[in-house]
Amino acid sequence: MLHLPQKPFPRTIILLLDFMVVLFAVVMSFLLRFNFDIPSYEFTWLYIDLLIIGFVRLVFFLVFGTHKGIIRYISTSDALRLMVNLLTGSLLFVLGNVVSYFAFDHQNIIPYSIIIIELLSSSFLLLGYRVLLKVVFMETRASGGQKRHVIIFGAGESGLITKRSLDRDAGPKLKVLAFVDDDRKKTGKKLEDVPIQPADKLDDLLQNNEVDQVIISIQNLSAKRKNEITDICLKHEVKVLVVPPVSTWINGQLSFRQIREINIEELLEREVIVINNDKVGRDLAGKRILVSGAAGSIGSEIVRQLMQFNPEQIICVDQAETAVFILQNELEQGIFKNYTFIIADICNESAMQRLFDQYKPEIVFHAAAYKHVPVMELNAAEAVRNNVGGTKVLADLAVLSGVQKFVMVSTDKAVNPTNIMGASKRIAEIYVDIKNAEGKTRFITTRFGNVLGSNGSVIHLFREQIQKGGPLTVTHPDVTRYFMTIPEACQLVLEAGTMGEGGEIFIFDMGKSVKIADLAEKMVQLSGLAPGKDIQIQYTGLRPGEKLFEELLATEENTKPTYHNRILIADVGENNPENLKKIEELLQITNNEDDMALVAVMKEIVPEFISKNSKYQQLDK
């Protein structure tokens, strides 16, 4: 077999080859014109045409730089540039004939038949030898070692582009064994000589062949289908890769290096939520909007989504300086510029008063909160001071300032709370519900569960533990959690804020809860490792205040539907106005550092607050 050098051919050699091909094409043109018997009197014209055509082609090769490309990576654009080069030269020959025809007694310098035959011959030979060298090069590289076998899921345009990117790549030695597609009409056909198999044969293909990777090439494939494919692959210890969205391709062309391993977030996603953007837009356009906790996971996404509705101004409030700096740098790259960053503590009443006086917000999205259950269990006073006290400061100022809407982001941990964090958020819910009756401000609460990719999420923890070689720490074999994506959660917050009339607690359809132990195992497998063999999963026991199962509704609660099938309204009954006095008492106790007295009052305000695995269990009757 012919072996090509690893380094590209020198440009001068390519230029010389191209020149020789053109000369050969001219000779072939004369031979074909005269049926391989050139008359002696035509040899003079053969030499003249060789000189003229050779010189013009050489000049155009230098001008167009067609010899500078690396042949092993020849693409459609390279072929197109070569064809334009040849056509331009041939048009020049035609123009020369027109001039000579009128100047030299109806004499053509180059016969038109020679021009046409030479153009076709040169095009075929120049492109042909380039493609041949590319194929030989790829085969030579592939024969140097054992090929890795790949199956591409998706026999459409994206699948074909994926195969071509693999063929083009100079690195990994891959061979596409088959395309697999859900469309049975494609079964039995071939794409570039690779057979197309039905999707239900994927299990058999992996069982009967040594497959290293399955690449999912279908754009916008549902998470459910991705899960099904991934489970089959993981059963056979085959790595799963995905092709990124077309919008991320470089200059519209897919690079092999962009094909990446599938991540767990993609497998936990659900169908894309459709919200009423027109209605949300009418509610938010031209408004001054304050976002508390604006640099956090939820707050920052709310800010990003608000920008598309062209508000008059977004006031971003957060006390985390580094997070604010990062978000500010991100927003500076965008088109929307009507935002202001304020570093401040929402518990600082005088600072918040100045902020409301200066910016006069019309809508408030309150996302600031302490959220980590184990940390707040050890810092009860701070949890109450921030989650309850901070909410009280903003809510009171909203009423005094005549804010139109106040949308509070709450949590599923506020339902039948078993920990300080959840109970503090439930008390904040109670406070804003009572305030809803005081003025024209409409107070709306939204509840949802764990958010994929949020700061401190279990997925981030597992990923770090896998990188360190384990073990992965799971609190209990049966613990489950609900998950949403950050954009999904924030879209629903905006939609609920738009539909809310005041006093509602909106809950979101979170789908099915996920078993954390299963999540840990799948993340290990997706990393190409074996749970229990390469990486251990270690059960550490439930942490103080932690539940086995999260709930979205308390047992006494029921729900009412809304026009959006993913949003429901929780009917939690009337709140006792006397709770206002108890909340004032609660906030006073935060200054006394008496956590037992503090939690005792919390349990009075929230009778369903029953502590678990915590020192505060002694307060439960």
Asked if 153 and 180 touch (Cβ cutoff 8 Å), the reply is yes
Catalytic: 413?
A: yes
Q: Pick left, alpha or beta for residue 503 (phi over 0 → left; psi -120 to 50 → alpha; otherwise beta).
A: left
Q: What angle do CA 423, 428, 433 make, to 5 degrees?
A: 125
Paired tokens of 228: 């099904």
Q: How buried is 311 (Cβ within 10 angstroms: 0-12 exposed, 13-18 middle, 19+ buried)?
A: buried
151: nearest Cα among 185, 175, 133, 173: 175
Strands 260-261 and 239-242: antiparallel
* Cα–Cα dist 87/257, whole Å: 36
Q: Would you mind telling me the total number of residues written for the chain in this entry?
A: 621
Which run of H or E residues covers position 181? strand 174-181
User: Which residue type does 136 have?
Assistant: V
Q: What angle do CA 509, 513, 516 make, to 5 degrees?
A: 145
Q: What angle do CA 296, 297, 302 make, to 5 degrees?
A: 90
Q: Which of 226, 239, 413, 547 is catalytic?
A: 413
* Cα–Cα dist 53/575, whole Å: 94
198: preceding bond cis by omega (within 30 degrees): no
Strands 558-561 and 313-318: unpaired
Strands 480-481 and 514-515: antiparallel
506: nearest Cα among 444, 464, 554: 444
Q: Which residues have CB under 8 Å from 318's CB, separation 6+?
A: 292, 293, 294, 295, 296, 299, 324, 341, 342, 343, 344, 368
* Cα–Cα dist 216/239, whole Å: 11
DSSP code, position 384: I
Strand partners, 484: 451
Catalytic residues: 413
